[in-house]
Structure 1
């Protein structure tokens, strides 16, 4: 299949398997959730009644004092332990390489079908100027949250987009399913398209 290059008569020949794949919502959801979970620290920790500092001596006599209580470290008391205390754990979910690549291909294919994928010759900036980047994005008709993908993100491009809220710049190596799903539109260079094909092939 062919992808048209914006403001050019040229086209980029791409694989139907990568940019024309059927969208699999369940697979994409699983991969996105797994990717986000991998970024969770999982360091939350609370103390159980056995770990709270304090005596475990019975606080008052068994009978004649109203409710019957044991140690003041019980969860019912202020300063006591937590009933089902959270402990450090990993949120990692296993996603093999084939699933991950299939999900990224499915997202790219859906973006292409919806007309939210724009291929350009280049995104290089001559100087780090935010105003020039704003003008370029307006010319391309990007949404509020555009994702700019290049083969190797240059420093000028990164600095030009840095002060623009919701504008993300990624190189092919830093591309991930969460950034693709969260973008209103994806602007990608022709060289990056070829590199993505090599990666997902």
Structure 2
């Protein structure tokens, strides 16, 4: 078992036991790269649309006769080699950018990321993270109490007050365990998880 220090808002520090399989894995760079690449690819939407030569509006008349002009032979002005012509391999909204990641690979990759964050002292456990009002200043005060900035906060459940108070704060992201993703975990300087979220992470990734 691995021990993680858990801080309270008052400054008291306790330790919690966590699973080796989730928080003490060797770093696998190629697996993490596959995980991040697949996540970004699956987030893409095919919104680009270009026209092929058969879809370009205009006459299909041959531009000049085949022989005798001294110029290269050519056909319609929709020729992809001409300015204003169609694209040779046009992008279409039916494009599929998705990449498949097996469930076993996903879990192993996320465990690798959490383990590396813990080794680099970028993973911080707190007893709880909730606020009693919707005011952003109360949320910022709580961050100062924990001495946090440029951080993603993972809780077992994001309450309405916490969501409303944190949504406009730059360089801060608050999500629940079910919405965590590899890109967010690697994009912030620190990752904060609540004690209840640790149990949920272990149950999801083991």
Q: TM-score range by the shorter chain?
A: over 0.9
CA offset digits 1:99-139 (Å, max 9, x no partner): 00111111111111111111111101010121222222233
Q: Would you say 1:121 and 2:127 are equivalent positions? A: yes
2:26 matched residue in structure 1: 22
RMSD: 1.5
Length, aligned pairs only: 200
Unaligned runs of 5+ in 1: none
Unaligned runs of 5+ in 2: none
Q: Quick check: 43-52 or 115-124, which moved more?
A: 43-52
SS at match of 1:5: strand
2:153 matched residue in structure 1: 148
Tell me, in whole angstroms, the C-alpha distance in 1 between the residues paired with 2:35 and 2:147: 29
Kindly report structure 1 stretches of 4+ aligned residues shifted beyond 6 Å.
Answer: none
Aligned ranges 1:1-201 → 2 under 5 Å: 1-6=2-7, 7-67=11-71, 68-87=73-92, 88-143=94-149, 145-201=150-206
Tell me, in whole angstroms, the C-alpha distance in 1 between the residues paired with 2:186 and 2:116: 10
The alignment's TM-score, normalised by the length of structure 1, stands at 0.93
- What's the offset of the Cα at 1:70? 1.4
Tell me, in whole angstroms, the C-alpha distance in 2 between the residues paired with 1:42 and 1:25: 29
The alignment's TM-score, normalised by the length of structure 2, stands at 0.91
